[in-house]
Amino acid sequence: MGKTVLVTGAGSGFGKGVALGLARCGHKVIAGAHIWPQVTELRNVADLEGVQLTVIKLDVLDEIDRQRAFQYEIDVLFNNAGLMEAGPVAEIPIARVRRVFETNVFAALEVAQGFATQMIRRGSGKIIWTSSVAGLVKVPWVGAYAASKHAVEALCASMREELKPYGVQVATVNPGAYQTGFNDTGMESMDQWWEDGRQAMRPRTRRPLNNQHDPQEMIDAMIEVIAADSHRYRTVKPESAAEMVRREQTDEWDVIV
């Protein structure tokens, strides 16, 4: 049976692919896009494909946008909107760290709380957070983003147990490196403030982001988790990343500093 799903961050990347994919499968989708040009573009894509898609402006940091979204009664929230800022933890501007947390943690939590309330009252529903492999391991030079996703992991794990008695499911999806453009722009963001010679750390060496995977694998996994009535709490893709996470989490116990 089709579900009613609200997708945040649907204007690009995984969110866009999941929103369109769910609509193709016959689910009722409310696709929240960050800015108005993304709203228009996504509506045009849906029209060209001939799929039914309700597209709204949803900047998760905007209280008016959030309250507008809370008017929808949904079965599943795909809490997907996110932001990456790169830079070493010792020198990344604190304003950039706050920006990451405001989007990935606080705004995401406000969206989850708003829909959790209706789900608790109804006695059913599901909230799926886009976390990251970075939320499970260390990621040098992307520590602010990784820290925000570690926070997401903690919130989700607690929310899972707290909402279980009310018939509300909570789960995470944890992408590794996929070629959506998110990782590339996240790393490039550091160029806005890093100046060789001004920072105490040695000059930055730009490294190409190789070995990024086809995002369709992750999109398909996300759609499967959203549509399924029962599934694993955590979905990590690709499998090579899942193996790396298990190995690194074990190795961390024996690190000597």
Joined together, the tokens standing for residue 126 give: 């599901």
Closest CA to 153 of 218, 116, 105: 105
Cα pseudo-dihedral 134, 143, 244, 181, rounded to 10: 60
* Annotation marks residue 178 as catalytic: no
Angle at CA 254, nearest 5°, toward 250 and 255? 110
Catalytic-labelled residue, pool 72, 145, 166, 233: 145
User: Are the CB atoms for 213 and 175 separated by under 8 Å?
Assistant: no
As a whole number of angstroms, the distance between CA 206 and CA 169 comes to 41
Structure tokens belonging to residue 222: 């996300």
Residues marked active site are found at 145
